[in-house]
Amino acid sequence: MRIFSGIQPTGRKHLGNYIGAIRQYVEGQDRGDAVYCVVDLHATTVAYEPAALRRNVLDTAAMLLAAGLDPERCILFRQGDVAEHAELCWLLSSVTAHGDLNRMHQFREKSARQRDLISAGLFFYPVLQAADVLAYKTDEVPVGDDQRQHLELTRDIAIRFNQRFGDTLVVPRHRIPELGARIMDLQAPEQKMSTTGSTEQGTIYVTDDESAITRKVKGAVTDSGSAVARATDKPGITNLIDILAVVRESAPEAVEEEFGGSGYGAFKQAVADEVAAYLAPVRARYEELRTDEAALERILEGGAGKARAIAAETLAEARLAMGVGAPGVGVGTGL
């Protein structure tokens, strides 16, 4: 089984990233042939600083390695180092409906925040994402719940391509965690914890120290009651219960039973202590890895070579199926 996923090199990684995606990446190494990339091409679709992008790529690579990715057990690379992604994106555009892209939730949300320019790249983002996935004949894509719509479009693109040009691409399926797929902002629990849209106080970063985590959890918005129980009208306390359940690898009901009569103060302290302990080894390892940029670049370069060998074969098959270029040219080379 081939597993693939990409992660944005934007900002510091937070608890939602870690629970919803990164820990799935680590688990994937034991379940199949795992391929992961840091998607710097996607990051260019909104306003950014080139120097910051390069730093963020290394930040993200170090975080993934700190969390447990092993270059000997998976392929880890930078998207921009494998040109096959961009070419396959263009080929897939011929079987992508303009109306489908118009309906993408993330395009509408992100474009609403762009003041100077809404780029065509932002609109085309899901097609490049489809190319990322389909280039590796991916069976399974570990993602957060917010990527469900994009994965459905990727499936539609693959099916439409195969119907028009012959059975060439693998139709992937998503893998979304049952618990922790949407970790919410601690200060605005009606919205997802995110790198760009969340509040600073409501976002727990993997690199936060124990005091910062404790301050943020203790200051989390809950409600006027005192019962530690999940409910639709208690989004803040429900979010904290889900977080603790994920950290403990237990059911939310077990958390409710343990803290049902203790009140919010004791419960929040327990959440803060256990989240801090959960993230501490990753933070320490990250700080160690991030200082050796040459080593990080070597890992990404080595991964790109392995990724390119796979993606080039898929691209050559797609070109041949579509009648693009000279027959047989480009197999294993990407040319």
What's the domain count of the chain? 2
pLDDT mean over 272-290: 97
Output the pTM of the full model. Answer: 0.90
Angle between helices 50-67 and 293-322 (to 10 degrees): 100
CATH number at residue 156: 3.40.50.620
DSSP string spanning 40-107?
HHHHTTS---HHHHHHHHHHHHHHHHHHT--TTTEEEEEGGG-THHHHHHHHHGGG--HHHHHT-HHH
Residues 154 and 107 in one domain: yes
Q: Quick one: pLDDT at residue 335?
A: 42
d(CA 279, CA 282): 5
Residues 164 and 15 in one domain: yes
Query: Is the pLDDT confidence value at 133 over 90?
Result: yes
pLDDT mean over 60-84: 97
Secondary element (H or E) of residue 175: strand 173-175
Among 64, 53, 68, residue whose Cα is nearest residue 13: 64
pLDDT mean over 160-178: 92
Residues 93 and 10 in one domain: yes
Residues 264 and 298 in one domain: no
pLDDT tens per residue across span 89-115: 999 999 999 988 888 877 766 666 666
The range of the structural domain enclosing residue 122 comes to: 2-175+292-322
